Structure 1
Amino acid sequence: MSVRVKIVFHSVYGHIHQMAEAIAAGAREVPGAEVELLQVAETLSPEILSKMGALEAKKAFAHVPIADPKKLGEADAVIFGSGTRYGSATAQMQAFFDATGSLWASGALVGKVGSLFTSTGTQHGGQETTILSMMTFLLHQGMVVVGVPYAEQRLSYMDALSGGGPYGAGTITGGDGSRMPSENELGIARYQGRHVAQIAAKLAAK
């Protein structure tokens, strides 16, 4: 039986894109999983992105299609990823959420699996609060919220700096964005993708 998984992300410097790719890889390990990687439309102008030094980084995932909020209901599971802005999702991701009113009105996402991942500039930069704030969207849409259980032993890794927790995968970028996702963080992301796809498959089979 096939299960459809959409991974919808907003990335500026590529960290969230790398995490999204790892989540997709994990989801594809589940037999019958049809995985689609999508990005949220950018609202910043090329001029501003250039000043931020993000234009070159964005070229690496420019090929990823833009997500249509009205098509989320096609999926059995949707995994959203966003960087952190003061402990909440980016304005771009929030705008995407705000464009799903018709799905809420029709109950199109009720019973679908929802999951979240993020990135922060520092170790205590708001990974938990960002995911928890995004979680309100999943709950208002009636989705079944799935995190990362401590059965994933990489959550307890103590030998080096690592993002991620029971709420969802995460990566720490460094203040200047120079730190890319570690293998431990990518491993948690792969686990999350696989875990979400497995649960979605079980729910779809009922």
Structure 2
Amino acid sequence: MADHNRYILVLYYSHQGATRRLAQQVARGVEQAGVEARLRTVPKVSSVCESTETDIPDEGDVYASYDDLRGCSGLLLGSPTRFGNMAAPMKYFFDGSAALWANGALIGKPAGVFTSSASLHGGQESTLLTMMLPLLHHGMVVAGLPYSEAELTQTTSGGTPYGASHVAGQNGRDVDDNELALATALGKRIAELSLKLQA
């Protein structure tokens, strides 16, 4: 049963749906540890200044607010790879979090990252590592996946010690069993760390 006095924010951006699928699995891992998972996404950004998104997306999870970030007990951050870095919508969201940084709102909270790419060597590890940078600036306790997770040595697609990942391929391959297991393990690990750190 989930502890509703605390929640892990599973914050993601997904363009084709693969990162959203990972986010859902990460959330399952959080809830297996007895903590509520709060799934949130961020809107697209546009190079056309007049282009805006509605306040509530037509489908999927609702957009994150900085209050969601402020109140979380931990964070799992997901984005597809974009030239070895997180996607612009997620970067834009974090670029607006300076007030939380100034107030130290995220200091000491655990965090983990996850990603998806179209190709095996499409920048997954650099994306995961660069996603950690704003979290470190916020003073979060960043954790990856230990090699005690057997799937790390069995996977031939996604999955790294830096965080969960998925290789979608050019045809949008579904998340495989190893990738699902690692996403679950990451969610569970961050939830368990949040319980220990707040004990």
TM-score scaled by length of structure 2: 0.89
Residue aligning to 1:39: 41
Residue aligning to 2:187: 193
Distance 2:145 2:117 in 1: 18
Shift of 1:121: 1.1
After the TM superposition, which parts of structure 1 deviate over 3 Å for at least 4 consecutive aligned residues? none
Superposed CA RMSD: 1.6
Segments of 5+ residues of structure 2 without an aligned counterpart are 48-56
Q: Does 1:105 align with 2:108?
A: no
Residues 104-147 of structure 1: per-residue CA shift (max 9 Å, x gap) = 01110111111100011111111110011111111100000011
Match of 2:160 among 149, 165, 184: 165
C-alpha contact (below 8 Å) 2:18/2:168 kept by paired residues: yes
Distance 2:64 2:165 in 1: 21
What is the count of residue pairs matched by the alignment?
187
Structure with greater proportional helix content: 1
Identity score, percent: 38
Segments of 5+ residues of structure 1 without an aligned counterpart are 46-57
The one-letter amino acid paired with 1:9 is: Y
Distance 1:164 1:95 in 2: 26
SS at match of 2:108: coil
Distance 2:42 2:141 in 1: 22
SS at match of 1:181: coil
Residue aligning to 1:143: 140
Residue aligning to 2:71: 74
Distance 1:28 1:70 in 2: 21
SS at match of 1:109: coil
TM-score scaled by length of structure 1: 0.86
